Amino acid sequence: MSKPSKKILLKGNEVLSQAAINAGCGFFAGYPITPQNEVPEYLSKALPEAGGIFIQAESEIAAINMLFGASASGVRCMTSSSSPGVSLKQEGISYIAAAELPCVIVNMQRGGPGLGNIRAAQGDYFQSVKGGGHGDYRLIVLAPSTLQEIYELTMNAFDYADHYRNPVLILGDGILGQMAEPVELTKYRPIVDLPEKDFVLDGCKGRERRVIKTLLLQPAEALIEFNEYLKKKYAGIESELKLCQKYRCDDADLVVAAYGITARIAEGAVDMARDKGLKVGLIRPITLWPFPDEDFRAVAEQAKKLLVVEMSNGQMIEDVKLSIECSRPVEFYGTGGGWYPTSEKIMEKIESVYE
Amino acid sequence: MQFKRPKTIKDTQTHYCPGCGHGIVHRLVAEVIDELGLREKTIGTAPVGCSVLLYNYFDCDIIECAHGRPPAVATAIKRCQPDKVVFTYQGDGDIAAIGTAELIHAANRGENITAIFVNNAIYGMTGGQMAPTTLIGQKTTTTQNGRDRKKQGPPLKVCELLASLEGVAYLQRVAVSTAKDVIIAKKAIKKAFQNQLDGKGYSLVEVLSMCPTDWKVTPKQAVDFVNNEMKAAFPLGVYKDV
């Protein structure tokens, strides 16, 4: 007799919340917004039961600044929101990145711009990978496409944050947050070296006092030097952390590129195309920053054409074109405004651009 | 009698202008931290404004916050480390304009922290613009004919505003414009720290203070302005003591 499955049925927002607890998250602050409400709801009960701290903040701005304080206290911490709320957090994210404080930020994207709607979307790609807040900083951006992957990447996110002393953004969407599927809640194991937190403010007993600050007025070169340092740090992350998955790409003439839930839908379209004898593959970036550009270049050597599919009017497509230096035609299929593609519609597009 | 530097103040010159009240308030906070033996368990927050650089003067752990956000940052630090002492130090723009939401909600949650609010009725660091606490008729670079009640509203009174919140433990408005005021201010600040040690909840001391540079007056005239104008608009006293 085979062992009974250890999988349990949960919603994506719940999986993410439990992953955070299992990874030792000790502090959560957030503000209600659809479609991520299950995260604060779940953590309001489960996190204190696990010995952690939950605060329903008065705003997204307060929530991200609470992370600033929690991270400075040496505690693993997370906040969660959806598109309009994440816009509000950008000020705090810039400060946290400048102070090099580890934390995890979740964006279960919804339709925009403005108040938009509450359906799934991928219109926050630019905000996530190109900045969002002021100044020259980078977030590590992780894009899961299944609930099992939400579970694993959320735990990994805390490790990357501590390892690189950098905020990590988990970029999901309303479908991933709301859908349910069986997930195996595996034991947390750190995947990278976790350095001692020598920046923590816990009172200066037996040591020199510490200051966490982001204002660098004097000498005049101080900020230039700090930005040079950040540039090197980000280059180091780029050299170490580019995650990508390829599916049926080896002999593909056309490669579909998509991330998150869109990639999962596109996988169905790739199978349909293969059934019809079309040589089609899929490339799915798991890290959106750093963007897995070498993988895209490798794929473009074989493929005659790429097709980018997004739940937006076309944002990631710019990084795809930059990665392959426009060496192949890049087609696009997508719609902004809280819409998701079906495998059938992607298949139609594949057939219309396939040569 | 020997006039010694508190251990919690570093031996350095400040960037504050002659006649500014921040130096006095810094010293009072440092004396209280010394007297209660808290230096090695204190985490302070620096605001945005003239006192952003307070970490150059305080010899304890300090975190510099985004404008108006110290109450949120301090909330998290104190929740994560309830055995430590956490204080915020904010100016009028920080606490009563851009950070109003963070102030009201940290206070209403009854966060067990100590807040020092320095009210000098003007934006000092940016060069003398109107503050939420600028007096009616007071000329600033953005109210060049004087603050007009009809256009800018009356000065915002933080102690009176917070007094209605059940979560707040202690509110007192003091000044540092006379020797007697400084003695009262120190007692209030000490009580605000002692309250935190006793777990009483959110305690705030508002300090009316001088800004001769941006008021465009002499230090002596600045003292007179606090005593004659500010104290009339912002009455001193205890607004809450639970």
A225-283 per-position pLDDT tens digit: 999 999 999 999 999 999 999 999 999 999 999 999 999 999 999 999 999 999 999 99
pLDDT score of A74: 98
Residues of A (213-252) whose Cβ lies below 8 Å from B: 213-215
pLDDT score of B1: 62
Q: Pairing relation of β-strands A103-109 and A77-81?
A: parallel
pLDDT score of A336: 84
Tell me whether A211 touches chain B (CB under 8 Å): yes
> To which residue do tokens 């005239």 refer?
B221
What span, in angstroms and rounded, lies between the C-alpha atoms of A294 and B118? 55
List, as own/partner pairs, every contact residues A179-182 make where C-beta atoms lie below 8 angstroms and the sequence separation is at least 24, other chains included: A179/A11, A179/A12, A179/A147, A180/A9, A180/A10, A180/A11, A180/A12, A180/A147, A181/A9, A181/A146, A181/A147, A181/A148, A182/A5, A182/A7, A182/A8, A182/A9
Q: Which amino acid is at A304?
A: K
* Cα–Cα–Cα angle for B194, B196, B202, rounded to 5 degrees: 120
| Residue B217 exposure: Cα atoms within 13 Å on the Cβ side | 16
pLDDT score of B68: 98
B32-54 per-position pLDDT tens digit: 999 999 999 999 999 999 999 99
> Could you tell me which residues come within 8 angstroms of residue A261 by beta carbon, excluding any fewer than 6 positions away?
A120, A145, A172, A173, A175, A176, A311, A340
Nearest CA in chain B to A51: B80
Residue B46 contacts residue B88 (beta carbons within 8 Å): no
pLDDT score of A240: 97
Domains present along chain A, CATH in parentheses: 8-183 (3.40.50.970), 244-353 (3.40.50.920)
Per-residue pLDDT 10s for chain A (355 aa) are: 566 668 999 999 999 999 999 999 999 999 999 999 999 999 999 999 999 999 999 999 999 999 999 999 999 999 999 999 999 999 999 999 999 999 999 999 999 999 999 999 999 999 999 989 999 999 999 999 999 999 999 999 999 999 999 999 999 999 999 999 999 999 999 999 999 999 999 999 999 999 999 999 989 999 999 999 999 999 999 999 999 999 999 999 999 999 999 999 999 999 999 999 999 999 999 999 999 999 999 999 999 999 999 999 999 999 999 999 999 999 999 988 888 999 999 999 999 999 8
Phi then psi dihedrals of residue B71, to 5 deg: -65, -35
H-type alpha helices, chain B? 22-35, 70-80, 92-93, 100-108, 149-152, 158-162, 179-197, 212-215, 219-225, 231-233
Of the partner residues A27, A95, A204, the one whose CB lies closest to the CB of residue B76: A27
Nearest CA in chain A to B104: A58
pLDDT score of A192: 97
Q: Which residues of A201-221 are buried (b: 16+ CB within 10 A; e: fewer)?
A: bbbbeeeebbbbbbeeeeeee
What span, in angstroms and rounded, lies between the C-alpha atoms of B222 and B217? 6
> To which residue do tokens 């900020």 refer?
A223
Chain A residues in contact with B104 by the CB 8 A cut-off are: 58
pLDDT score of B102: 98
Of the partner residues B39, B60, B73, the one whose CB lies closest to the CB of residue A68: B73
| Residue A227: both structure tokens together | 């930005």
| Residue B147: both structure tokens together | 């603050």
Tell me whether A92 touches chain B (CB under 8 Å): yes
pLDDT score of A171: 98
Q: Packing angle between helix A343-353 and helix A260-275, nearest 10 degrees? A: 60
Report the run of H or E that residue A61 belongs to, with start and end: helix A60-72
pLDDT score of B3: 79
Of the partner residues A29, A69, A204, the one whose CB lies closest to the CB of residue B63: A69
Per-residue pLDDT 10s for chain B (242 aa) are: 677 899 999 999 999 999 999 999 999 999 999 999 999 999 999 999 999 999 999 999 999 999 999 999 999 999 999 999 999 999 999 999 999 999 999 999 999 999 999 999 999 999 999 999 999 999 999 999 999 999 999 999 999 999 999 999 999 999 999 999 999 999 999 999 999 999 999 999 999 999 999 999 999 999 999 999 999 999 999 999 99
Domains present along chain B, CATH in parentheses: 22-241 (3.40.50.970)
pLDDT score of A3: 66
